[in-house]
Structure 1
Amino acid sequence: MNVYEYLLNYNIKPSVQRIAIMDYLLKHETHPCIDEIYMALCKEIPTLSKTTVYNTLKLFVEHGAAKMLTIDERNACFDGNTSLHAHFLCRSCGKIFDMPLKEELTDTDKLGEEGYVVEEVHYYYKGICPECAKQKSKKN
């Protein structure tokens, strides 16, 4: 499915800016913030503003086409992968990694039986990634 169809699938009217922003999110699984997306696309789309990027990402989140991550207290980051998964923030390099979830963690049936309607689930882990841990052990 191309990005145009992807947006239509989420009931989002495609535009040049929306297609470019969603394409960036889907191709760059780095969980970028607004500034990163803006800086990457402003050369290709000179009329693009940070406000447009912000409003577009807000629209994507409202329609379920992207997720906003608040794992990093300094920046909101965005993820084009809307499947259920966890995130790991490396406190050393600052990168955010996708992590698989164990099935028992994702069981919201019990909450449904109790009358809760689950709309979002966030699993955040923080620590040191394997690459940074290796570098740290080499220094010691």
Structure 2
Amino acid sequence: MEISVELLKKELEAKKIHLSYQRLKVLEYLVQNRIHPTADKIYTDLQKVIPTLSKTTIYNTLKILVEADLVKLIKTEESEARYDIDVKTHGHFKCESCGEVFDFAINLEALQLADLKNCRINEKNVYFRGFCPGCQ
């Protein structure tokens, strides 16, 4: 199913989350820019459209969208948080040269997890680093 701003607006309404102009612009940005942006990247790009926008608004909006399961927070480095509008199960590959993050399909059910049978798994992430075809 294709992710659209209209679908996300309906999901926000269903969860009783107010859709302000700034939240709408952040959603639109994430739908139109599938680049796994950082909060700073979103802020820098949207400030051109909304000069009065603050970083606090960006961080608060992203927090609300993550808590509503409409956006996924991905950590590609210890201190780097990026945001993904695609919340379905998939992996991420980050190029060590250009820094771009790519999505790839993955079947987590196929993983052999017998050694973890007594563990409670809260989150499953697959993350690879290397060099993309354009940087090799």
After superposing on structure 2, the runs of 4+ consecutive aligned residues of structure 1 that deviate more than 4 Å are none
Which structure's residues are more often strand, by fraction? 2
Q: Partners in 2 of 1:65 and 1:11 — Cα distance?
A: 13
Give the alignment's TM-score, normalised by structure 1: 0.80
Q: Sequence identity, in percent?
A: 40
Aligned residues: 129
**Residue 99 of structure 2, aligned match among 94, 113, 118:** 94
Whether contact under 8 Å (1:72, 1:89) holds in the other structure is no
Shift of 1:9: 4.3
Shift of 1:43: 2.1
Q: Partners in 1 of 2:125 and 2:14 — Cα distance?
A: 23
CA RMSD of aligned residues (A): 2.3
Write the deviation string for residues 68-119 of structure 1: whole angstroms up to 9, x where unpaired.
11113342110011010000011111100001103513x88xx7x8583x54
Any gaps of 5 or more consecutive residues in structure 1?
134-140
User: 2:40 matched to which residue of 1?
Assistant: 35
User: 2:129 matched to which residue of 1?
Assistant: 126
Shift of 1:6: 3.9
Amino acid at match of 2:21: V
* SS in structure 1 at match of 2:98: coil
The structure with the largest alpha-carbon Rg is: 1
Which structure's residues are more often helix, by fraction? 1
